[in-house]
């Protein structure tokens, strides 16, 4: 008995058609990638109504957009696939350097507020920390609304890109300083009540501790946090909770490394005086300094 013959395979490959074309090529053109330079650029995805939904930058624009074209179903490529699916138009703006690409990307994100951009889109939420000493008390403020507190005469430090880290550092710092003085009732401070802002008043806080605190917040090398730590050794409440106090001091030292010192360095590199940069200028300051 003869063996059954195997099912024959198609001798010729299926002719390419629209179903075989990548979604990126169908939307933006099969020749787009080949026509791009291998140089810095900013790119904008726009939806069908003409609204910019995402702004990005690339050191090599051909390589970056090739990644969008060849995005797979991996989780890491999910955002790329989504942008290609939602976009109706892709615009490429070549620039002469990566530094200029960073600056233009930042400017467009701030002005257009694309819905798929998170990094840098919420610059108006960058917080600052303020300190002011009066004959009655020392006040500390955490806010994104610096202008609302100007009548109180705060000296400002920041702004900081991470609201979470800055808020945790503010709470930790003021908790420790209260151990060295006496917390005031919020109602007695005469500060405006603004959602998301905090004001803490401390009576009988030694002027040297206030100076050390401001040295710490300035981000410059020094013994600011060390002076606070040594003062805490003389307080029974701090000695009783020494393990927690030590953890709080370590947390503040980490905030100095991640946020205070880098901001101080950027300001010095830009030859800016003080320890404060506005929300509008903060990202551009770092872009300019890092591009040097």
pLDDT at 223: 79
- Please write the tens of the pLDDT for every residue from 266-277: 999 999 999 999
CA 175 vs. chain centroid, Å, equals 25
Mean pLDDT of 202-210: 96
Domain stop point among 112, 138, 169: 112
Instruction: Please give the pLDDT value at position 113.
Output: 87
Are residues 44 and 153 both part of a single domain?
no
Let me know if residue 16 belongs to a domain. Answer: no
Q: What is the pLDDT of residue 150?
A: 94
Q: Are residues 154 and 259 in the same domain?
A: yes
**Mean pLDDT value across the chain:** 89
Q: By mean pLDDT, which of 91-100, 109-118, 155-164, 268-277 is the weakest? A: 109-118
Residue 153 has pLDDT above 70, yes or no: yes
Question: Quick check: 15 pLDDT over 50?
Answer: no
For residue 263, pLDDT over 90 is answered with yes
Last residue of a domain, one of 82, 112, 142: 112
- Shared-domain flag, residues 105 and 240: no
Sign of CA dihedral 11, 15, 16, 18: negative
**pLDDT for res 3:** 47
pLDDT at site 119: 64
Locus of tokens 């001798």 = 11
Query: Residue 141 — very low, low, confident or very high, per pLDDT cuts 50/70/90?
Result: very high
For residue 20, the model assigns a pLDDT of 67
Regarding whether 127 and 200 lie in a shared domain, the answer is yes
What pLDDT score does 291 carry? 55
The torsion angle over the Cα atoms of residues 206, 209, 211 and 215, rounded to 10 degrees, is -170
Q: Provide the pLDDT for residue 170.
A: 98
Domain contains 8? no
Give me the pLDDT at residue 256, please.
96
Instruction: Confirm whether 19 is domain-assigned.
Output: no
**In the prediction, which pLDDT does 287 show?**
81
How confident is the model over 78-100, as pLDDT tens digits? 999 999 999 999 999 999 998 88
pTM for this model (two decimals): 0.70
Together in a domain, 153 and 73: no
CATH code, domain with 50: 3.40.1440.10
- The mean per-residue pLDDT over the stretch 195-212 comes to 96
Give yes or no for residue 241 having a pLDDT over 80: yes
When pLDDT is cut at 50, 70 and 90, the band that residue 11 belongs to is very low
In the beta sheet, which residues pair with residue 155?
A: 131
Q: Is the pLDDT of residue 35 over 80?
A: yes
Give the separation between CA 230 and CA 233, rounded to whole angstroms.
5
Question: Domain containing 161: what range?
Answer: 123-284
pLDDT classification of 12: cutoffs 50, 70, 90: very low
Q: Is residue 134 part of a domain?
A: yes
Tokens of 269: 């590199």
What are the CA-CA distances from residue 28 to residues 33, 45, 104, 176 (Å)? 9, 11, 23, 58
CB contact set of 106 (below 8 Å; sequence gap of 6+): 120, 283, 284, 287
According to the model, what pLDDT value does residue 33 have?
95
Mean pLDDT of 177-206: 95
The predicted pLDDT at position 4 comes to 43
Average pLDDT estimate for 103-109 = 89
Q: What percent of the chain stands above pLDDT 90? A: 74
Record the tokens describing residue 87, joined without a space: 């976009």
Interval 196-221 mean pLDDT = 95
pLDDT for 222 equals 77
d(CA 229, CA 235): 10
> Whose CA is closest to 279, among 128, 63, 87?
128
Domain total for the chain? 2
Cis ω for the linkage preceding 159 (within 30 of 0):
yes
Of residues 103, 102, 101, 107, the one with CA closest to residue 121: 107
């Amino acid at each position: 008995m003869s063996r059954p013959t195997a099912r024959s395979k198609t001798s010729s490959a299926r002719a390419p058609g629209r179903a075989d074309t990548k979604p990126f090529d169908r939307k933006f053109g099969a020749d787009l990638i080949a026509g791009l330079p291998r140089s810095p650029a900013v790119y904008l995805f726009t939806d069908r109504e003409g609204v910019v939904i995402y702004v990005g930058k690339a050191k090599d624009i051909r390589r970056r957009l090739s990644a969008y074209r060849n995005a797979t179903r991996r989780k890491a490529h999910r955002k790329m696939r989504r942008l290609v699916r939602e976009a109706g138009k892709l615009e490429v703006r070549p620039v002469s350097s990566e530094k200029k690409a960073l600056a233009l990307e930042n400017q467009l994100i701030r002005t257009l507020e694309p819905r798929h951009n998170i990094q840098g889109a919420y610059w108006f939420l960058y917080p600052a920390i303020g300190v002011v000493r009066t004959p009655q008390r020392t006040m500390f403020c955490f806010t994104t609304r610096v202008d609302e507190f100007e009548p109180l005469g705060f000296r400002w430090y920041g702004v900081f890109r991470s609201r979470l880290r800055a808020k945790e550092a503010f709470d930790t710092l003021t908790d420790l300083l209260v151990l060295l003085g006496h917390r005031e009732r919020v109602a007695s401070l005469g500060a405006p009540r603004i959602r998301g802002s905090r004001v803490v008043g401390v009576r009988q806080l030694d002027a040297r501790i206030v100076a050390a605190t401001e040295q710490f917040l300035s981000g410059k090398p020094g013994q600011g946090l060390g002076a606070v730590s040594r003062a805490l050794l003389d307080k029974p409440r701090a000695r009783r909770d020494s393990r927690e106090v030590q953890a709080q001091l370590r947390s503040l030292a980490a905030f100095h490394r991640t946020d205070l010192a880098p901001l101080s360095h950027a300001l010095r590199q830009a030859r800016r005086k003080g320890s404060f940069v506005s929300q509008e200028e903060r990202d551009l300051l770092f872009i300019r300094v890092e591009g040097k």
